[in-house]
Structure 1
Amino acid sequence: MENNGAKSGNPIFSGWYADPEARIFEGQYWVYPTFSASYDEQTFFDAFHSDNLVEWTKVERILDKKDITWAQRAVWAPSPIERNGKYYIYFSANDIQNNDEYGGIGVAVADGPSGPFIDALGHPLIDQFHHGAQPIDPHVYIDDDGSAYLYYGGWKHCNVVKLNEDMISLGTFVDGEVYKEITPEGYVEGPCMIKRNGTYYFMWAEGGWGGPHYSVAYARSDSPLGPFLREQKILAQNPQVATGAGHHGMIQIPGTDEWYIVYHRRPLSETDANHRVVCIDPLHFNPDGTIAPVEISFEGVSARPLTNVNSV
């Protein structure tokens, strides 16, 4: 079903947004981005949903800083997941620069993907630097065996923690560690994990978020804990299309090997660092399991309705 040949176009919805996380919830595509503005204005999250990747509906302010007692500065980089009928969203707040400042990564919970999300703890889930990683840019991943992991980190360090069944407290790895560093070469921020054919694909953003060379690279492993050896960039600017392409989420069509990458980039007409838009393009795997570099486009993707899918 091609919806009369309609294409999503890029960006897929209007407004300045960045750091998109992409999911399938309740038979719909969902994208949860950062509202890309100055810190004084970056104080809430909107979400967007679609039946076909082409037409998107905005749900405003699914979580607002005013409802997070400990959030004093910007909130950004949301990452949602569903478990046991509840929806959890992990996010960055306050942009702390050292362990004496208050903030870090929080978690909120809701009964549905559109929220409203309620701060689950009344304080950050992760509020300190461990192994040099600034507590920002969370990405939540649940493995096939039900183990839940939260990947995170800025300042060129990446950690992973285990989430307990309640999804709002941290577990311990078998070696006794709570915070395990997994930083690959070139890592800056924006981690993302998928699993395909038994292989873990770990991806991350490289370069400075405000500049044209922001990009995404990846590594593979047979464990969600690595080791992750950098292979190559898979997403980068195209001076004919847009710059600063990075910090992405992934969509797999259930039951298929069809994948899409949802990411932000900066239009060629823009010089303001916060002028970023959310885009989508196909992502392809080569026969040997490597990822082919993404061709960023103005056209986006064709309509892809979902059928008989409840949640992923």
Structure 2
Amino acid sequence: MRQLCRILFTAPFALLPLAVHAANPVFPGWYADPEAAIYGKQYWIYPTTSDAYAKQTYFDAFSSPDLVHWTKHPRVLDASHVTWAKKAMWAPALVEKNGKYYFFFGANDIQNDKEMGGIGVAVADHPEGPFRDLIGKPLIGAFHNGAQPIDQFVFKDSDGAYYIIYGGWGHANIARLKDDFKGIATLPDGSQFKEITPKDYVEGPCMFKRNGKYYLMWSEGGWTGPDYSVAYAIADSPLGPFTRIGKILQQDPSIATGAGHHSVYHVTKGDHWYIVYHRRPIGETAANHRVVAIDRMDFDAQGHILPVKITNEGVAPMPLD
């Protein structure tokens, strides 16, 4: 599952030559906002199709046995199976529950509560889809606490509760999902949407739990600019309050700019962590010219995330046993 945060499109995998490193970007094409998930012995990435809003009407997915060799699964979800989604389908969030796969997504880039759109959810029997709309309308279709309903992330806590963390326009909300993912439950204080916005938050939240602490990560800066980056905070509860620690992912002008909107892999065997993010290749200035990269993410003895070194080499193979 998500929280645990050289490309050869050939098969079978057993015939592929051994690669020393994946290389960044990890697969070709303009993609952004990658969602990282692990299902069985396969890594998955579900990115936004990085294009003009009117053309963002579908999602591709990519799977790999080792973080190096990736297979493309085209159009695992598209607008033809979501009657209310017309454009700007963004930032997938995936979760598996009881043998079903749930795909949360933003659509239509709504600017106020009078417009149709927001955060939806689709379901499939397999991680490669095909996904179909679960409820026939947005799960979150209005602004709460000033947060635009985009950039959702779904976090499963150790007690089995599922939370959705989301928000654009500089506001982050958390809400507890109902068990069937068809609605929003009530939080202990009686509310449904609790604002947990940390300092300098812009968009793209991601949450995981490590050694009893909750890590909230997010993107800040402008998504079209070189200052796009990732920072994080820590709390004792998924509901906060979160104390900002600092920035851990940002551009290296010699490698790539605009490094942000990420997710995380945690390979429990050996306790390996990876950050999956998008960035803009050197020399590219078009807003939608973004690619997906993976680099290592490490912690110090105090549990703080060390600054990530972005690379062209990428990561070494890491098969899932």
Partner of 2:111: 97
Task: Please state how far the C-alpha of 1:175 moved relative to its aligned partner.
Answer: 0.9
Q: Structure 1, residues 223-279: CA drift from partner, whole Å, max 9, x if none?
A: 011111211100000000000000001000024321000000000120001000000
Query: Matched residues in 2 for 1:251 and 1:221: separation?
Result: 20
1:176 aligned onto 2:190: yes
Q: Which residues of structure 1 form unaligned runs of 5+? A: 308-312
* Paired letter, 2:61: A
Query: Matched residues in 2 for 1:143 and 1:42: separation?
Result: 31
1:157-172 map, 5 Å: 157-172=171-186
Task: Give secondary structure in 2 for the equivalent of 1:226.
Answer: coil
1:1-312 map, 5 Å: 4=18, 6-307=20-321
More deviation, 264-273/250-259: 250-259
More deviation, 72-81/238-247: 72-81
* Paired letter, 1:122: G
Query: Matched residues in 2 for 1:202 and 1:191: separation?
Result: 7
Partner of 1:310: none
Task: Please state how far the C-alpha of 1:4 moved relative to its aligned partner.
Answer: 4.6
Task: Please state how far the C-alpha of 1:5 moved relative to its aligned partner.
Answer: 5.4
Task: Please state how far the C-alpha of 1:92 moved relative to its aligned partner.
Answer: 0.4
Task: Please state how far the C-alpha of 1:84 moved relative to its aligned partner.
Answer: 1.0
Query: Matched residues in 1 for 2:19 and 2:83: separation?
Result: 47
RMSD (Å) for aligned C-alpha atoms: 0.9
Query: Matched residues in 2 for 1:128 and 1:255: separation?
Result: 41
Query: Matched residues in 1 for 2:77 and 2:19: separation?
Result: 35
Q: Which residues of structure 2 form unaligned runs of 5+? A: 1-16
Q: Structure 1, residues 131-160: CA drift from partner, whole Å, max 9, x if none?
A: 000000000011111000000000000001
Is 2:49–2:60's contact at 8 Å kept on the other side of the alignment? yes
* Paired letter, 1:43: T
Task: Please state how far the C-alpha of 1:168 moved relative to its aligned partner.
Answer: 2.2
Task: Give secondary structure in 1 for the equivalent of 2:80.
Answer: helix
Is 2:19–2:68's contact at 8 Å kept on the other side of the alignment? no
Task: Give secondary structure in 1 for the equivalent of 2:260.
Answer: strand
Query: Matched residues in 2 for 1:70 and 1:38: separation?
Result: 18
Identity of aligned residues (%): 59
Task: Give secondary structure in 1 for the equivalent of 2:53.
Answer: coil
* Paired letter, 1:95: D
* Paired letter, 1:155: W
